[in-house]
């Protein structure tokens, strides 16, 4: 008897890791009332950050990517969150939520707000089964410790962090012994590689971008997902027409306009990101035969505004320098924001 042919999916060439609250979803946890309202929202009532769902769909177009979502939202919200993602046309490969009921029952109160002991072992365990050559881009926000955790993750698997530093970080982060063991166990299984290309931090709290300077140029703070799309165009993850789709969607449905997108472009240039070729690619995309893009009225005006802003900027500042991250001096970034000593001052 012959076996039916089976076509296995291609191994992922790129892995995109996303947080949900304040990264993908517009979520407000500032008060107990806000917390309850968020907890009882239905899927259609939840609102995605403008451009986020379009960006995810465009990144998946190549067919050899993997979307991994790790959220601090409780497991009890899985059904409504999955429904929201489906409504947005987002398909995922991995979706992990926090088990805070178990934390409560076990008396693990530090784990309720702590992120290092939750996210770090989860993404390390996910990387264990990834192809060594698969590149990664991570998306988080400035509400918690995403820049710290993601950078630590990247440097752990690249062999740039030793056990002494890791132990100090886990102790300062209030990580429980069983999660410490998970971190070490997964870390030792991962072949040494340097796959993390970018870490995007959505500035939901409008934290000054300079706050993230100690993490080096790999971490890119963004005020919106058009900025992320521009950097991903320069990095080769998106094409110019795909970036234009994101720009148009943000103009037509999310209240953005020519001025805000032009300012977003210029903001990245002032920070030294090398986007001149991206600007050229966007202009060339409009000169091609893509009738759909030409029919979208905001696009030519946006590109004209970009050209004026580029000309007005003059000489671009040098790109941020690559530097080793001093995780010991940045340990306060690993703590919950309400923790004593947590600061959002630049370089703190």
Radius of gyration of the chain from its Cα atoms, rounded to whole angstroms: 21
pLDDT > 70: percent of the chain: 80
Q: What is the pLDDT of residue 140?
A: 97
pTM above threshold 0.75: yes
Q: Which CATH architecture has domain 14-218+322-334?
A: 3-Layer(aba) Sandwich (3.40)
pLDDT in tens, 309-348: 656 656 667 777 788 999 999 998 888 765 444 444 444 4
Res 46 pLDDT > 60: yes
Residue 180: band (very low, low, confident or very high) from pLDDT cuts 50, 70, 90:
very high
Supply the angle between the helices 276-287 and 298-313 in degrees, to the nearest 10: 150
Q: What is the DSSP letter of 322?
A: P
Going by pLDDT thresholds of 50, 70 and 90, the confidence category of residue 109 is low
State pLDDT tens for residues 281-296.
877 776 666 544 554 5
Provide the pLDDT for residue 347: 45
Spell out the domain ranges in the chain: 14-218+322-334, 238-313
Condensed to tens digits (0 to 9), the pLDDT of residues 237-268 reads: 999 989 988 988 888 877 787 778 888 988 99
pLDDT at 344: 44
Average pLDDT over residues 207-219: 95
Consecutive H or E run containing 246 = helix 240-253
Buried b (16+ CB within 10 A) or exposed e, 229-268: bbbbbbeebbebbbbbbbbbbbbeebebebebbbebbbbb
What distance lies between CA 115 and its chain's CA centroid?
A: 15
């Amino acid at each position: 008897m012959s076996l039916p042919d089976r076509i296995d999916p291609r191994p992922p060439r790129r892995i995109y890791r996303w947080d949900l609250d304040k990264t993908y979803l517009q979520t407000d946890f500032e008060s107990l009332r806000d917390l309850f309202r968020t907890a009882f929202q239905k899927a259609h009532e939840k609102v995605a950050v403008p451009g986020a769902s379009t960006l995810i769909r465009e990144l998946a177009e190549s067919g050899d990517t993997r979307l991994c979502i790790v959220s601090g939202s409780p497991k009890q919200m899985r059904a409504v969150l999955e429904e929201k993602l489906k409504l947005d046309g987002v398909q995922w490969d991995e979706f992990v939520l926090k088990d805070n009921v178990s934390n409560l029952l076990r008396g693990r109160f530090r784990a309720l707000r702590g992120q290092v002991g939750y996210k770090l072992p989860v993404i390390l365990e996910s990387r264990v089964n990834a192809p060594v050559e698969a590149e990664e881009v991570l998306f988080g926000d400035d509400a918690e410790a995403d820049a710290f955790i993601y950078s630590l993750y990247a440097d752990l698997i690249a062999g740039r962090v030793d056990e002494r530093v890791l132990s100090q970080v886990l102790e300062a982060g209030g990580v429980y012994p069983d999660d410490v063991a998970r971190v070490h166990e997964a870390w030792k299984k991962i072949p040494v590689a340097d796959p993390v290309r970018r870490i995007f931090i959505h500035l939901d709290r409008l934290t000054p971008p300079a706050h993230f300077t100690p993490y080096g140029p790999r971490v890119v703070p963004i005020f919106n997902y058009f900025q992320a799309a521009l950097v991903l165009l320069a990095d080769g993850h998106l094409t110019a027409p795909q970036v234009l789709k994101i720009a148009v969607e943000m103009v037509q449905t999310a209240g953005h306009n020519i001025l805000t997108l032009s300012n977003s472009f210029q903001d990245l240039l002032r920070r030294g990101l090398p986007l001149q070729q991206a600007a050229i690619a966007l202009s060339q995309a409009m000169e091609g035969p893509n009738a759909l893009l030409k029919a979208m009225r905001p696009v030519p005006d946006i590109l004209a505004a970009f050209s004026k802003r580029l000309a007005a900027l003059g000489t671009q500042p040098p790109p941020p320098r690559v530097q080793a991250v001093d995780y010991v001096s940045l340990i306060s970034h690993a703590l919950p924001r309400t923790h004593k000593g947590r600061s959002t001052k630049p370089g703190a």
